[in-house]
Structure 1
Amino acid sequence: MKEDDTEKTIDPLTGEEFVPKRSNQKFASRENQIRFNNLRAKEIRKAKSKTRKILDTNRKVLQIVLGPYNEIIRSYDYLLGAGLNFGFNTHTMKMDGITWTCIDDYAYALIDANTFKIIKLKV
């Protein structure tokens, strides 16, 4: 069988044309596949980095404010002054009829007009 008789495909990383040895081969070499996947993962990390940095800061603030206690109550102004960004969280959950705003393994809930309860979630 001549090389001209086989189907050629294009490597997504380099754009080079090659003859695949397997039916599901997409890259000319394993190195190209690794580099392509690493570049894609880097783009994803870069896109998430600003948000993740804010979330990490929020988690650290809640960790410091909570200290050694299981739960604590603090005012909105106190949390704002400590550096909590209320616009960023990882998820919300309902527990005992209360909606908790969560940042990884910490959560806070509004208990009255200007006061929040902060807890550490059991994971």
Structure 2
Amino acid sequence: MKEDNKEKAIDPLTGEEFVPKRSNQKFASRENQIKYNNIKAAKERNAKALTENILNANRKVLQRILGSKSEVIKSYDFMDGAGLNFGFNTHTMKIGNINWICVHDYAYALVDTNAFKIIKLDKAF
């Protein structure tokens, strides 16, 4: 009968009513909490999957084009033909007077009307 006097809570995963043992308890069991958080994380991963796949593909394209060189200049058509999706990047940065478009640890910048310089960013930036 003691449980009847206590305040009850609703488990967000199952919707079941339970009496919390702690003031901050939101789930009826640890298993429900884990399952709820795994579902939430999976939804977030799935929402980001398309973008992450394109970014990973862009990084591989830049890595393949640059090869073992420290920098290379390629035309827009070459980079487009290699599969670079110009609409997706991770960030931009300004080094000197040049604005670089970055995909993780690789960057490219417009150096002529139809030519881009590609570099690998090192830890100095």
Asked if Structure 1 and Structure 2 have the same fold, meaning a TM-score greater than 0.5 normalized by the shorter chain, the answer is yes
The CA distance in 2 between the partners of 1:91 and 1:74, in whole Å, is 21
TM-score normalised per structure 2: 0.96
Q: What letter is aligned with 2:40? A: R
- Rounded Cα–Cα distance in structure 2 between residues aligned with 1:24 and 1:71: 55
CA positional deviation for 1:106: 0.3
SS in 2 for 1:22: coil
CA shift digits 1:66-114 (9 cap, x unpaired): 0001111000000000000000000001111211000000000001110
Residue 10 of structure 1 is matched in structure 2 by 10
Letter in 1 for 2:113: A
Query: What is the count of residue pairs matched by the alignment?
Result: 123
- State the alpha-carbon separation in 1 of the partners of residues 94 and 21 from structure 2: 53
SS across alignment from 2:48 = helix
Partner of 1:122: 122
In structure 1, what is the Cα distance between the partners aligned to 2:90 and 2:23?
41
Question: What is residue 70 of structure 2 aligned with on the other side?
Answer: 70
| SS of residue paired to 1:109 | strand
Give, in whole Å, the separation in 1 of the partners of 2:32 and 2:51: 30
Matches of 2:93 and 2:76 in 1, distance apart?
20
- What is the SS of the residue equivalent to 1:68? coil
Q: Does 1:107 align with 2:107?
A: yes
Point out 4+ residue stretches in structure 1 off by more than 6 angstroms. Answer: none
